[in-house]
């Protein structure tokens, strides 16, 4: 089921194609809008399923598996795969909403030029993620790993 996108105060659209996002996270669209506003990101956000992300990951990155988050610069877009995100949250014993917030911040930072290919870059990106998440009341995802 595809739900038409809705414009929110952060400037982008939220498109929910996987209904389980709404089932597992109360007011998921409000959470997305809040995180994107805090991250200063106007990209569209697509909350979708693993198969959709797997297809895009195979097509665009030559990796035939789903991943938690994909970002695209043109048009600016962040896609999240429900099953992968839920599995990671459960494995880390973290609330799904907190993990979603972290991955949204992560995707937003990628769109702002941050990367984590090298140790120095990763430290800077993790520091920025931690700072933004703290502003949102989300615990440091890098603590106790």
pLDDT tens, 62-92? 999 999 999 999 999 999 999 999 999 999 9
- Give the model's pLDDT for residue 2: 39
C-beta of residue 134 within 8 angstroms of C-beta of residue 140: yes
For residue 37, what are its two tokens?
């506003």
**Would 145 be classed as within a structural domain?**
no
For residue 83, what are its two tokens?
């099953």
Spatial distance between the Cα atoms of 82 and 59, rounded to a whole number of angstroms: 19
**Would 142 be classed as within a structural domain?**
no
**Would 92 be classed as within a structural domain?**
yes
**Would 141 be classed as within a structural domain?**
no
59 pLDDT higher than 50: yes
| Domain ranges, residue 74 | 6-135
**Would 130 be classed as within a structural domain?**
yes
The number of folded domains in the chain is 1
C-beta of residue 49 within 8 angstroms of C-beta of residue 55: no
**Would 113 be classed as within a structural domain?**
yes
Band of the pLDDT at 34, cuts 50, 70, 90?
very high
**Would 69 be classed as within a structural domain?**
yes
- Global pTM reads 0.91
Distance of CA 67 to the CA centre of its chain: 11
Spatial distance between the Cα atoms of 72 and 58, rounded to a whole number of angstroms: 14
- CATH code of 54's domain: 3.40.390.30
- Give the model's pLDDT for residue 144: 63
| H-state helical runs in the chain | 20-24, 28-39, 50-61, 82-91, 96-111, 119-135
Spatial distance between the Cα atoms of 120 and 30, rounded to a whole number of angstroms: 33
Query: Mean per-residue pLDDT for 13-34?
Result: 96
- Give the model's pLDDT for residue 1: 34
Spatial distance between the Cα atoms of 143 and 139, rounded to a whole number of angstroms: 8
3-class SS at 72? Answer: strand
Close Cβ partners of 130 (under 8 Å, ≥ 6 residues apart):
140, 141, 142
- Give the model's pLDDT for residue 143: 79
């Amino acid at each position: 089921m595809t739900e038409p996108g809705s414009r929110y105060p952060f400037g982008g659209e939220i498109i929910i194609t996987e209904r389980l996002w709404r089932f597992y996270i109360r007011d998921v669209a409000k959470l997305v809008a809040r995180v994107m506003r805090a991250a200063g990101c106007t990209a569209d956000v697509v909350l979708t399923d693993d198969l959709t992300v797997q297809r895009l990951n195979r097509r665009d990155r030559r990796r035939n598996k789903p991943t938690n988050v994909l970002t695209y610069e043109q048009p600016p877009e962040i896609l999240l795969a429900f099953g992968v995100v839920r599995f990671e949250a459960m494995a880390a014993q973290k609330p799904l909403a907190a993990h979603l917030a972290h991955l949204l911040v992560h995707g937003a930072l990628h769109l702002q030029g941050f990367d984590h290919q090298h140790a120095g870059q990763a430290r800077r990106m993790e520091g920025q993620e931690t700072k933004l998440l703290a502003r949102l009341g989300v615990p440091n995802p890098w603590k106790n790993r």
